[in-house]
Amino acid sequence: MVIAQKTKKTMTCKACDVVCQRFGKHRNGLARFRCPNCKKTYTEPHRLTLGEMCVSEEKVLLAVQLLIDGNSIRSTQRITGIDQNTIMKILVLAGDRCEKLMGRLIVNVPVKDVEADEIWAFIRKKEGHKMPHEANDNSIGDAYCFVAIERNTKLVLNFALGRRDTVTTQIFIEGLRAATADQSFQITTDGFAPYIPAICDTLGDRVSFAQLIKVYRSPQDGEKRYSPAEVVDTEVVLVMGNPDTARICTSIVERQNLTIRMQMRRLTRLTNAFSKKWENLWAAYCLHFAYYNFCRIHRSLRVTPAMQAGITDRIWEIKDILA
């Protein structure tokens, strides 16, 4: 039997150029050394987690896992013992890495059926509660996340955060073009009007486009404010190309919206866990979608969406998407 031996940590005194002796540990667990000649002490170099933090990798991964599983900042603080400001910094750094990961890997993906929708949230306060001097501040109020998902692989192809307007829609569709391969596919959206010029101008050379418009019943007397509206009818509008009517559907992306609300604490209704900063909400979305695509096994697929789409051949761990 071969027994593997650990390499002993050593350090050389910069002043005397001699090998230092072990001298206990620092309060953060790092080894300390002392020069036998000048008695100067040294601590082994810190390993910076996520490139900027001295928090241990184990605690960072635990904090990220808790945030992914729907815990709030304060509950994550109570479980991990990490300060809430540090947890928010972890979220921003992790979100930045996830954003770069998806931008690098989800490019030119062959697709067949794409569904797009928007999910509502707000930052600091709801749009109707803004003060007069905040009326033109787009960093406060409604924040819509546009999501595009491939119906067969369940891969989230692109997402964009912004106002529910023409500008955000155009940015979203341009990102979708970069994410999909140059081949024909079908796309279905809801009845939001800016989709029509954005898709026709940006994806007109490769898509068949249809809109599925839902007609809701008006609220009846006695219904509560937050009761879900009842769908009484649906209308299919063929916008361009030759869409297959049997494949005109938005059920998958709407189910993805439910997954987002279940997994992201910031989107839980009627709580005080909503985002106070735009960058924190964006980072939370990036982390959620990267984990959903590469780490989470989809129940109907029995693999991750990235594996089903052929982007990777294995199930990733959280430390892989943060590498």
Over the stretch 150-202, which tens digit does the pLDDT of each residue have? 999 999 999 999 999 999 999 999 999 999 999 999 999 999 999 999 999 99
Same domain, 25 and 97: no
Same domain, 107 and 141: yes
Whether 231 has a pLDDT exceeding 80, the answer reads: no
CA 211 to chain centre: 26
Q: How confident is the model at residue 292 (pLDDT cuts 50, 70, 90)?
A: very high
Distances (CA, A) of 210 to 95, 157, 202: 33, 18, 15
Same domain, 203 and 300: yes
- Minimal CA–CA distance to 305: which of 58, 297, 261? 297
Distances (CA, A) of 116 to 30, 37, 113, 189, 214: 49, 69, 10, 5, 14
Mean pLDDT of the 200-207 span: 95
Mean pLDDT of the 202-215 span: 93
User: Rounded to whole angstroms, how far apart are CA atoms 267 and 93?
Assistant: 20
Same domain, 136 and 256: yes
Residue 267: what pLDDT? Answer: 94
Q: How confident is the model at residue 1 (pLDDT cuts 50, 70, 90)?
A: very low
Q: Average pLDDT, whole number, for the chain?
A: 91
- Phi/psi for 129 (5° steps) reads -100, 5
Distances (CA, A) of 289 to 77, 94, 142, 203: 23, 12, 20, 23
Per the domain annotation, does 4 fall within a domain? no
Per the domain annotation, does 183 fall within a domain? yes
User: Rounded to whole angstroms, how far apart are CA atoms 213 and 235?
Assistant: 5
| Tens of pLDDT, residues 60-109 | 999 999 999 999 999 999 999 999 999 999 999 999 999 999 999 999 99
Residue 196: what pLDDT? Answer: 97
Greater pLDDT, 50 or 182: 182
Q: How confident is the model at residue 3 (pLDDT cuts 50, 70, 90)?
A: very low
Per the domain annotation, does 262 fall within a domain? yes
pLDDT > 70 fraction of the chain, expressed in percent and rounded = 94
Same domain, 27 and 150: no
Q: How confident is the model at residue 15 (pLDDT cuts 50, 70, 90)?
A: confident
Same domain, 21 and 108: no
The secondary structure of 8-46 as a DSSP string is: PP--B-TTT-SBPEEEEE-TTS-EEEE-TTT--EEEPPP
Same domain, 35 and 168: no
Mean pLDDT of the 6-21 span: 81
Same domain, 129 and 15: no
Task: Report the largest interatomic distance among the alpha carbons of the chain, rounded to a whole angstrom.
Answer: 87
Please state the domain count of the chain: 2
User: Domain range for residue 33?
Assistant: 9-46
Mean pLDDT of the 192-218 span: 92
User: Rounded to whole angstroms, how far apart are CA atoms 34 and 12?
Assistant: 9
Per the domain annotation, does 51 fall within a domain? no
Q: How confident is the model at residue 295 (pLDDT cuts 50, 70, 90)?
A: very high
Per the domain annotation, does 2 fall within a domain? no
Same domain, 216 and 94: yes
Per the domain annotation, does 202 fall within a domain? yes
Per the domain annotation, does 53 fall within a domain? no
Whether 22 has a pLDDT exceeding 70, the answer reads: yes
Which CATH number belongs to the domain containing residue 67 in this structure? 3.30.420.10
Question: Which residues have CB under 8 Å from 183's CB, separation 6+?
Answer: 110, 206
The CA-based dihedral angle spanning residues 261, 264, 270, 272, taken in that order and rounded to the nearest 10 degrees = -170
pTM beyond 0.95: no
Find residue 188's DSSP bridge partners.
115, 210
Same domain, 42 and 63: no
Mean pLDDT of the 225-240 span: 80
Find residue 123's DSSP bridge partners.
141, 275
Same domain, 192 and 83: yes
Same domain, 24 and 117: no
Residue 6: what pLDDT? Answer: 52
Residue 78: what pLDDT? Answer: 96
Contact present, 44 and 11 (Cβ < 8 Å):
yes
Residue 2: what pLDDT? Answer: 42
